[in-house]
Amino acid sequence: MKRTTLVLILAVLFGAVPALYARDYFGELPLSGTWEALVAYWAGEAPPRPEPGPLFVYSEKFVIHFDTIGTYAVLPKYAESVSVYAEHCWRLQVDSLGWAPLPMDSGRGGDDRYDIYIKGMPTAPESAHIGGRTWAESFYDDPYPYGHSSYIQVRHDLQ
C-alpha cells in the first residue's frame, strides 16, 4: 500500500482540512470527503451505513468490511493493509499523542470496534478526487462534547 493511503487514513480517521479551503491552502483537492459528509449530515441527508462485510479483517480497534467479488472487489491484502495503517494511526494519535479515542457505535457494523468500509465512492466529477469519507452518525456527548459515533468509507480503487 502506498504512502498516499496512510495519509488518507490519517486525514479521514480523525478529521481533515475542510474541502472548501483545502484547494487554496494546498493547491489541490483533498483526498478526504469528510467535509462534504459533515455538510450532508447537518442537512439530514447522510446515507445509511453500508451493509456489513461480506468479508472482514479484524484488528484490536477496527473492523474492515470488504468483498473480493463484484463491483467493489479488492484483494484481501488491500483490506489487511487498511487495517494495519488504521491501527498505526490509533497508536500514534491516541496512545502516543493522547487524543481521545473514537466514540463507540453501539454495535453497528457487528461490534463496538470502529468500522471501515471499502466500498465505491461517488463518481460525479466534483467527487472524483475523494479517496474516503468519515460519516457522522449518532450524537455521543459523554465524554465527548459535540461528539458523534461515525464510520469510514474508503475507495475500493485507491492507488
pLDDT tens readout for residues 114-126: 999 998 776 555 5
Q: Which residue has the cell 484481501?
A: 76
Global confidence as pTM:
0.75
Of residues 88, 68, 89, the one with CA closest to residue 77? 68
Domain ranges of the chain: 3-155
pLDDT at residue number 3: 53
Whole-number mean pLDDT of the chain? 78
Residue 37: Cβ-neighbour burial (10 angstroms; 0-12, 13-18, 19+):
buried
Percent of the chain with pLDDT over 90: 32
Q: Band the pLDDT of 80: cuts 50, 70, 90.
A: very high
